Amino acid sequence: MVSSAQTKEIIYQPVIGLEVHAQLQTETKIFCGCKVAYGEDPNSLTCPICLGLPGALPVLNKRAVEFAMRMIIAVGGSVNERSVFARKNYFYPDLPKGYQISQFDKPIGTGGSVRYNVGKEPERICRLTRIHLEEDAGKSLHPEAGESQTRVDLNRCGTPLIEIVSEPDLASPQEAYAYLVRLKQLLQYLQVCTGDMEKGHLRCDANISVRPVGQEKLGTRTELKNMNSFKGVERALTFEIDRQVKLLRAGGEVEQASLLWDEKKQMAEPMRSKEESHDYRYFPEPDLLNLTISSEWIEKVTSDLPELPETRKKRFVSEYNIREYDAVVLTDSRELADFYEQVMNQFDDAQAAANWIQTEYLKTLNDLKISIDQFPVRPKQVASLLGLVKSGKISGKMAKTVYAEMVSRATDDTESDFTPEVIVEELGLVQVSDESTIVPIVEKIIADNEPQVTAYRGGKDKLFGFFVGQVMKETKGQANPEIVNRLLKERLDS
């Protein structure tokens, strides 16, 4: 027995492995022709197969296999030439056949890894154990106040899933979070999953144990379920590590168990033992043939793979000559990077475009609470707008006004052709860059403000802004500020 004074000295290190379920965004379900969609009327997207009616048989959707292959190849895993579907048997009302078709000892993918960063620390690697294909279950809609019955919606039933199982390589809740961010980014780049955790398109269970630093042997692990955001995963892990460490320091032992995270209470509570004591009685699914994948197919999927975030980031730095940090932000999502490149197809100042997207563009997404695919202004219009600024037709400040107008006009009408040129015209926002117009005004201001000129020349540099302001006032804000600056400097500093 170790005394509590001694145990307090022990520093524990968490060991975390994640199991992530990603819904594949195929057109149809994994074993039948029903549409995969979210938010339709309950049980409207069903057929004898996904309802599990007697006599109905599954037929594998090749597209789902291909999506799984994309992910396996992208993480550097190996696509197994032969894999086997297996039945996972358990009773639940939203599982109409009484078993889930999954894969067990022979999954479609083995190995691979995901690289991730925590803050500014060097890149780390989390190895993957396996990736397998399976079907999703339906949804149980538990009674709300005033109702007595649970209802079952089987629209989701049969949606293709991949389960991505990591090795226990993650050493902190922050690492788990960073890993999930990268995993989601990859899934989105590959266009195999939307990655939307709130809608349940991505789900994550976590296995967590702690052990004294330096100890090889793993501690007893618990499984955390029911987290519905990446931050929720991080918080649940933080809670559970704390609980396990406190327990061990108090001389207790961690019991192997499944815990449900309660986001409202911010705590994880053990599931009833009955709910977790499953013997799934896996056996090979006799209704499906073994899945064989030819090397030609693997080659085809590999060559059709889109450019992945890491590669794209590097290309952005070399091709556009922008800062690495900007490239990271711009390649964060495939859509954002696409948008940037579409702007750059029609504009030539890469850094200006990068700056603009990181400020105005992301601000708009934030303000309107919309996703990238809902962004109202086309890349072509953005390129025109940035072009107007660069050529000096309008000022950066005017550009903000024009852009606000573009957004408000375009919000309700995606086919809008409210080009920046039209708006500039309508608002009369043309910038005056013609020196012959500005020079007399500059000279007039200098002549009219003798005392300030003397003071400025005597060392009061701050007065420069005063002169600029006066010129802008005189030109109703339309004078090109760069030209105004230069003309004033030439005259005042000489």
Partner 1 sequence: MSDYKSMTAAEIAKAVSSGKLSAVEITKEALELARTEGEKLNAFITLCEEKALNQAAEIDQKVKKGRDGTPPPAFPLCGVPVAIKDNISYTGYKTTCGSHILEDYQPPYDATVMQNLIKAGAVIIGKTNMDEFAVGSSNETSYFGPVKNPVGDDLVPGGSSGGSSAAVAAGIVPIAFGSETGGSVRQPASFCGIQALKPTYGGISRYGLVAFGSSLDQISPFARNAHDLALAYQAASGYDANDSTSLNYERPDFVSLLTSDKKFKIGVPKEFFAEGLDPEVEKSVRAAIDKLRQDGHTVEELSLPLIDQSIAAYYTIACAEASSNLARYDGVKFGLRESGDKSLAEMYADSRSVGFGDEVKRRIMLGTYVLSSGYYDAYYQKASQVREMIRREFEKAFEQYDLLIGPTTPTAAFKFGEKIDDPLAMYLSDVYVASANLTGMPALSIPCGQTSDDRPSGLQFTGPGKGERELFQVARIWERLS
Q: Which residues bind partner 1 (CB under 8 A)?
A: 48, 51-60, 87, 89, 91, 93, 96-99, 152, 279, 281-283, 286-289
Rounded Cα gap, residues 411 and 175, in angstroms: 38
Which residue lies nearer to partner 1 by CB, 288 or 362?
288
**Is the Cβ of residue 267 or residue 288 nearer to partner 1 in the bound state?**
288
Give the burial string for 99-129 (b: 16+ CB within 10 Å, else e): bbbbbbebbbbbebbbbbebeeeeebebbbb
* 231, 177 Cβ separation under 8 angstroms: yes
Query: Are the beta carbons of 207 and 19 closer than 8 angstroms?
Result: yes
Closer CB to partner 1, 276 or 474, in the complex: 276
CA distance 117 to 174: 10
Whole-number minimum distance, CB 83 to partner 1, in Å?
A: 14
**CB < 8 Å & 24+ apart, contacts of 220-223:** 220/253, 220/254, 220/255, 220/256, 221/15, 221/254, 221/256, 222/254, 222/255, 222/256, 222/257, 222/258, 222/259, 223/257, 223/258, 223/259
Select 82 or 281, whichever has its Cβ closest to partner 1. 281
Cα–Cα distance, 122 to 174 (Å, whole number): 14
Min CB(61)–partner 1 separation in Å:
12
H runs (alpha helix) in 222-375 = 230-249, 273-276, 295-303, 309-315, 324-330, 334-344, 350-356, 362-368
User: How far apart are CB 53 and partner 1 at their closest, in Å?
Assistant: 7
User: Whose Cβ is closer to partner 1: residue 100's or residue 222's?
Assistant: 100
Q: What is the DSSP string of 177-236?
A: HHHHHHHHHHHHHTTS----TTTTSEEEEEEEEEEETT--S----EEEEEE-SHHHHHHH
Q: Is 133 or 423 the residue whose CB approaches partner 1 more closely?
A: 133
Smallest Cα–Cα separation from 154: which of 36, 22, 275, 25?
Answer: 36
CB 371 → partner 1: shortest distance, Å? 36
Going by C-alpha positions, the residue among 278, 269, 273 that lies closest to residue 92 is 278
For the bound state, the minimum distance from the C-beta of residue 292 to partner 1, rounded and expressed in Å, comes to 13
CB of residue 344 vs partner 1: minimum separation in angstroms? 47
Which C-beta is closer to partner 1: that of 282 or that of 464?
A: 282
- Nearest distance from residue 90's CB to partner 1, in Å? 9
Nearer to partner 1, 97 or 201 (CB): 97
CB nearer partner 1, residue 100 or residue 194: 100
Please tell me the distance from the alpha carbon of residue 69 to that of residue 297, in angstroms, as a whole number: 9
Phi/psi at 11 (5° precision): -100, 130
Q: Which residue has the tokens 């815990």?
A: 259
Q: How far is the CB of 254 from partner 1 (least distance, A)?
A: 23
Q: Which is nearer to partner 1, 7 or 43 (CB)?
A: 43
Least distance in angstroms from the C-beta of 108 to partner 1: 16
Based on CB atoms, which residue is closest to partner 1, 101 or 445? Answer: 101
Minimum distance from CB of 199 to partner 1 (Å)? 25
Tell me how far the alpha carbon of residue 254 is from its chain's centroid. Answer: 34
- Please state the closest distance from residue 24 (CB atom) to partner 1, in A: 19
Helix, strand and coil percent figures for the chain, each rounded to 5: 40, 20, 40
CB distance 223 to 259 below 8 Å = yes
For residue 225, what are the β-bridge partners?
A: 260
Tokens describing residue 449:
């403000």
